[in-house]
Each structure stands twice: as structure tokens, then as C-alpha cells.
Amino acid sequence: MTLRALAETLGLEVLSAWDLDREVTGAYVADLLSDVLAHAAPGSLWITLQTHANVAAVAALKELSVLLANGRRPDPDMLERAREHKVTVLATGLPAFEIAGRLYAAGLRGGN
Amino acid sequence: MRVWRADLHVHTCLSPCADLAMAPRTIIARAAARGLDAIGVADHNSAANAPAVQRAARGSGLTVFAGMEVTSREEVHILALFGALEAAFAMQEFVQRRLPGRNRPEIFGLQVLVNEEHDVLGFEPRLLAGATGWSLSEVVERVHRLGGLAFAAHADREAFGLLGHLGLLPRGLALDGLELSPNTSEAEFRRRWPECAELPLLRFSDAHSPEQIGRAATGFRLPELNLEELRKALRGAEGRGILTEAASLWKN
């Protein structure tokens, strides 16, 4: 499924759009950057509550797209970094467990 | 006894997120212009630029404490400050024993090693923006074993702040104080986190660019300025004490 199709199906808000037509097959949930650096599979959709600039940097490094859960809003410098590094940032009002469940139902799997 | 104004949380161009203009003489000139008596050099997970800042301070009357801002395994920032350079480097060795990853400067930023003449000596290859494998209590214990002071940096902040990130003060964590971010007042912080009542609250700039140096500071009432006296002031011992400047004084 593409990021665009996921966003439309699940009502995700698009905050920074770069590669919406990219196929995404996996997702990863974590709020510790070190865990994401160590374990997230490249290309995954990263579900997190963290909203600071290093989120965009880690996403760029690991080639992830970001999905902010639970109504979280990105800090301005996170969006700035996301644009600089061409990172797609999505947002949902649903808690992480809920949105992870819906993504799983839509066919996404853990990357590893 | 007099009040010494100290901004003990200042980054240099070694921190990937800091302005490249944060070179030793620039930092010292700015700190002096702001009327500070002391600064603390606290780059992320490294003390490598601290000696150059200390050398740049010679003759300025400014005291420069060497230290670093350690990222614990829980991704909480601990501001560690030392009275001796050797202790700061022993802490760096400890932290970097478990600091995985290599920096990608195009993503995280440049990590510039400089001397006091602002010559570029090289680039730090480790991922200083990353987290060490040591836990909060291991970090704080090691700081104390090396004779240093350990503060929770920007403790109220959700990103990497002890209370904002973890939501509570871990029992038994022997901190020397809590640095507040500009987002909260002392009164608000005391109301929200009553379990921190025993800990002194401090304000430093967390400067990442020259104009931010001294935008916040804490006054220490002491007979002479050194790390042991700071420790006494934090405990309110022997007539010593601290004067935390109000958040309304924040500039920039």
C-alpha cells in the first residue's frame, strides 16, 4: 500500500509530504530514538509520540516515514528538519496501539 | 562571600545541533559581555572541546567548568560538571565505552573539534546525538564517583528532560539539582512535581548559539568559585546558597 492510500483510508493528516506514492509494507512503534536506530527496518512507517527535531533526523537516517500518534503535534523545528531531509510526516488523533492495529489490519507488518 | 553568576550549560561547535560559531574565544567573549563569572562546557556525550575553552578563558577572569550533557539509556539528559579536566575525560571515556553509532554530519550536523585559536583539529566520528548504554542511575553514580555534579538538564521538557520524559523522579536518583527549561516557572514546577521538593532548581542557558549564552543563569553565593563550593551552595551549607534568576529574565 502507498502512504497516500494509507493516509486516505485511515484518515491520517499529512504534515510533510515527500514520497506519498511510496509503497510501505512495514511499521515500527517506539519512542526511544536509540531503539529506532537499532531496530527499525528501512522504509518502515515509524509510529511515535516524540515530536522534536531529532525524530526527523533519525527518520532520514533510517529512511523512515513518521506517524505521530495520539494527537501529537510536531515541534516547528521537527517539521523544518523533515522538509530539509525530505521526510514524510503524518499524524493521527488515535493512540499508538489503535493506529498500529488499523495499519496491521490494512496489511502492514513489522519490518523485521 | 559574594554572588557569582554562572551559566553552566553551554554547548560548543562539537555538538551536532550547535551553531558552528560556538568556538572557544567567541564563547568566552560573549560570556564576559553578559557579565558571567563562570560557564560550564557541556557538549553531548563529549568533553573534547572543553580544554580549548578553558585555555581561551585564561586572563578573562572567567571560570570554565568542564563537563558534558550525557544522554542516558532512557534518553534523559544529565548535565555533568567537574572541577578537574581529568575527571571530565574519565567521564567521557565511561560514556563513550557504550555509545554506538557513527555521525552522519549531513543529517545530524557537524561535530567540530577545535583549539582555542579556532583551528579545526578534526571531526568527532561518534554519534554524539545518540544515547549511551548506561542507565540514569549508572550515569549519576559515575559522575559522583569522579567528584562531579549531576543535574537533570531541562528537567521539565518532554524531549530528553527527566520529569517531562519519564513523568516521575526515579526513587534513589541522587541528583544535585534540576535545571528548568524556559517553558516553566519555579512555582509551576514545584506544584507539578512535589516529589522534587528536596532538589534545588537552577537555570542555565543551554546555549547552542553565541547570542543565547547567559540568557539564563544562576547566582551562587560563595566565598570562592570552585566545584566544591558549588556543591555546598546547592546544599545550602555554611551560609552558602543559590539565587535562581526568574524565567522572565530570559532573552532570545
Question: Domains in chain A and their CATH numbers?
Answer: 3-110 (3.40.1390.20)
- The ipTM assigned to this model is 0.84
Q: How far apart are CA B119 and CA B243, in angstroms?
A: 37
Of A58, A61, A81, A84, which to mutate for an interface test with B (greatest number of B Cβ within 10 Å)? A61
> Do A61 and B107 count as a contact with CB atoms less than 8 A apart?
yes
Q: What is the CATH number of domain B2-249?
A: 3.20.20.140
> Least CA distance to A57: which residue of chain B?
B107
Quote the pLDDT of residue A25.
Answer: 87
Quote the pLDDT of residue B250.
Answer: 46
Quote the pLDDT of residue B103.
Answer: 97
Question: C-alpha B51: how far from its chain's center?
Answer: 15
Beta bridge partner(s), residue B200:
none
Per-run averaged pLDDT (10 residues), chain A, 112 residues = 96 96 95 93 96 95 97 95 97 98 95 60
Q: Give me the residue spans of the domains in chain B.
A: 2-249
Quote the pLDDT of residue B251.
Answer: 41
Nearest to B104 among A38, A53, A61 (CB): A61
> Least CA distance to A51: which residue of chain B?
B159
Mean pLDDT score across all residues of chain A: 95
User: Minimal Cα–Cα distance from B165 to chain A, Å?
Assistant: 10
Q: Which pLDDT tens digit goes with each residue over A5-22?
A: 999 999 999 999 999 999
**Residues of chain B scoring pLDDT < 50:** 247-252
Of A32, A33, A34, which to mutate for an interface test with B (greatest number of B Cβ within 10 Å)? A34
